[in-house]
Amino acid sequence: MILASSHRSVKTYEVHCISRYTSPPSEVSYILEAYYPGGAWVTSPDATKSILSQISQRSDVPVPKVLISDATKTVVEFDYLLLPHPSPAALPTRTLAAAEERTFGQHLRKVHAIDNDWFGVPGEPSDVISWEEAFTLLLEALLDKTGGDELWNTVKIEYIRGALSRAIGFFLFDDVEVPSLVWLTGDESSAMEVEENGESKMTFLGFSHAVWGDPRMEHVFMDGLKDVQEGYDQNLFLLPRQRIKGVWYSLFFALLMIAESEDVRRVERARSKVEECTNQLRLVEYC
């Protein structure tokens, strides 16, 4: 069974096997994160394993332990992570209750408190030490990746690049001094329940598009979930410049969905969002 958090370049599956090492044979379940070429950037299985390890060591947010990280393609034709399956089943089958959304927000803030020495995609250490440079590189990569999309029949790509030049000229991204761990594509469909010491706790899956960057980039903030915000206990968009950055991050995420999503309706919504954000950013006044 494929889970709702999957994208073109990374798909998350529930895998059910029969163990013959028990008597009688019993069913054993796992989570398989399969990495495929062709989408936007993704972290490698080893980088994702490192992220989960850091979350476990540097916070009390429950995350699954990686059983296998394999990029050899000797067993299957794709790179993959094998994780123990939480119990009970995945939460995408239902909407989070208000209390669970607050827990979601609390966990998210703890994840954002995990920092790094450089900005950008997790993996090999990078020389990029400013968020402005890292964000520009990631945005340009998405503009290149979506270059053949029909979006550009209605939106001029030079408008986005021109608006970005203005934003950089006004030092919009310079207030991000510490590279925080940003889940980015995580949402309610990436939250699962896990039993720990007889207690049901929430855990996160799907860090394949994680970024060391600005917490305001987190997609879940764009959904306006009040209980998530309450749990997070900090308004990241109080100031006008912060709200302008929110428009940039909405545009960025929409481009990512055009590159990654296999849901036709979601891609159509993303195209509309890119057009909307581009129009806003062309007219924005910085102070």
So where are the chain's domains?
10-283
Give CATH for domain 10-283: 3.90.1200.10
- The whole-number pLDDT of residue 3 equals 56
Residue 17 pairs in a beta bridge with 28
Q: Give the DSSP H or E segment for 50.
A: helix 45-58
Q: What is the pTM of this model?
A: 0.91
pLDDT of residue 17: 83
Per-residue pLDDT of the chain in tens (287 residues, 90 and over written 9): 555 456 888 888 888 887 776 677 777 888 899 998 877 777 889 999 999 999 999 999 988 889 999 999 998 999 999 988 766 444 444 577 888 889 999 999 999 999 999 999 998 888 998 999 999 999 999 999 999 999 999 999 999 999 999 999 999 999 999 999 999 988 877 777 766 666 677 888 889 899 999 999 999 998 777 899 999 999 999 999 999 999 999 999 999 999 999 889 999 999 999 999 999 999 998 87
209 CB neighbour count, 10 Å cutoff:
25
Burial class (CB in 10 A: 0-12, 13-18, 19+), 6: buried
